[in-house]
Amino acid sequence: MTIEAILTDIEGTTSSISFVKEVLFPYADREMEAFLRTHWERPAVAECVAQARAESGQPLASPEQAAALFRGWIAEDRKITPLKTLQGMIWQAGYESGDYQAHMYSDAVEQLREWQARGLKLYVYSSGSIAAQKLFFGYSEAGDLTPLFSGYYDTTSGGKKEADSYRRITADIGVAPERVLFLSDVEAELDAAREAGLRTTLLDREKVLLNTSHARAETFYDVAL
Ligand SMILES: CSCCC(=O)C(=O)COP(=O)(O)O
Ligand SMILES: [Mg+2]
**221 alpha carbon – ligand 1 mean position (Å):** 22
Q: Which CATH architecture has domain 5-16+103-222?
A: 3-Layer(aba) Sandwich (3.40)
Relative to the alpha carbon of 77, which ligand is closest?
1
Query: What is the ipTM metric for this complex?
Result: 0.96
**77 alpha carbon – ligand 2 mean position (Å):** 12
**215 alpha carbon – ligand 2 mean position (Å):** 16
Strand pairing partners for 215?
201
Would the CB of 126 count as within 6 Å of ligand 1? yes
Nearest to 85 by CA among 26, 41, 44: 44
Contact residues for 94 (Cβ-Cβ < 8 A; gap 6+): 27, 31, 100
Domain 19-96, CATH number (from 1.10.10.10, 2.40.110.10, 1.10.720.60, 2.60.40.2550): 1.10.720.60
Residues 56-67 pLDDT 10s = 999 999 999 999
Residue ranges of domains in the chain: 5-16+103-222, 19-96
Residue pLDDT tens, the chain, 225 long: 899 999 999 999 999 999 999 999 999 999 999 999 999 999 999 999 999 999 999 999 999 999 999 999 999 999 999 999 999 999 999 999 999 999 999 999 999 999 999 999 999 999 999 999 999 999 999 999 999 999 999 999 999 999 999 999 999 999 999 999 999 999 999 999 999 999 999 999 999 988 999 999 999 999 999
